[in-house]
Amino acid sequence: MKIFLDTADVKQIEKWKDTGLIDGVTTNPTHLSKAKGNPRKTVLEICKLLPKGEISVEVTEKKPDAVYKQAKAIAKLSKNILVKIPCHRDYYPIIAKLAKERVKMNITLVFTLIQGLMMCKLGVDYISPFVGRWDDIDVDGVDVLYQLRHMIDEYGFETGLLAASIRGVRHFNEAIMAGSDVVTVPISVLEKSTDHLLTDQGIEKFDADWKKLGIRTFP
Ligand code: G3P
């Protein structure tokens, strides 16, 4: 299972990259706007930081022809880029065209099983169901992860399931249990998910007990 960082914060990416656990990054217009600065520069910096990682960069144009052109330009920025395109019916023809041209794509804003199936049929690399945004409207967002996993396996599609809009530790756990190929996690959730009070207390207790021995060097 791959773990992506859901951020465009270069400093955080730099910090987490050293853990050896990060397989990629998902950016979006919101993240790039929060990061400030020139988005092209930020994207290139992220691509350079994780040369073997998969970096998702979203289109910002609206009209299909412009989205197509922008997708090609984004893909050209770096070999490790996947172009993020919203899962909207207006874009189906250009997604089909880009897939034929082997442009790597991560289809974003997927909410239903049927939307996911359509994208798998077009042969995209990843579909990103947004778990947290379902929860925002009082629907349990994790259900769609299980449905999409079943559909991908049942029909033998090669599209990867990328769990997105992960808002907390429960979502992260569910993304794992649902068999997602990738989970993209905001830094705050990653910190909460990897910290544990009992781990911290355990370290302190071992340290206190060890100090009782009065030994300076070991082994
Ligand atoms: O990568 C995009 C997605 O994860 C956004 O999450 O929290 O804005 O719904 P959120």
- pLDDT given at position 169: 98
Distance 70 CA to ligand 1 centre (A): 21
Considering only the C-alpha atoms of the chain, give the largest distance between any 2 of them, rounded to a whole number of Å: 72
Rounded to 5°, angle at Cα 217 from 212 and 219: 105
The residue whose C-alpha atom lies closest to atom 3 belonging to ligand 1 is 165
Q: Which domain, by its residues, includes 83? A: 2-211
pLDDT at 121: 98
Q: Is residue 217 part of a domain?
A: no
Domain contains 141: yes
Assess whether 15 carries a catalytic annotation.
no
pTM, whole model, 2 decimals?
Answer: 0.96
Domains: count for the chain: 1
Tally Cβ neighbours within 10 Å of residue 90.
11
Ligand 1 lined by 28 (C-beta under 6 Å): yes
Q: What is the pLDDT of residue 103?
A: 98
Q: Is residue 168 part of a domain?
A: yes
Does the residue 180 lie in any domain? yes
Q: Can you list the alpha helix ranges (DSSP code H) found in 59-196? A: 64-77, 92-100, 113-121, 131-136, 142-155, 169-177, 187-194
d(C-alpha 178, C-alpha 172), whole Å: 10
- The confidence band for 43, taking pLDDT boundaries of 50, 70 and 90, is very high
Question: What would the pLDDT profile of 175-189 be if each residue is shown by its tens digit?
Answer: 999 999 999 999 999
| pLDDT of 18 | 94
pLDDT tens column, 153-202: 999 999 999 999 999 999 999 999 999 999 999 999 999 999 999 999 99
Ligand 1 atom closest to the CA of 132, numbered from 1: 9
CATH number at residue 192: 3.20.20.70
Q: Tell me whether residue 12 is exposed, middle or buried, using C-beta atoms within 10 angstroms of its C-beta: 0 to 12, 13 to 18, 19 or more.
A: middle
- List the structure tokens of 67: 């989205």
pLDDT at 84: 98
pLDDT in tens, 86-139: 999 999 999 999 999 999 999 999 999 999 999 999 999 999 999 999 999 999
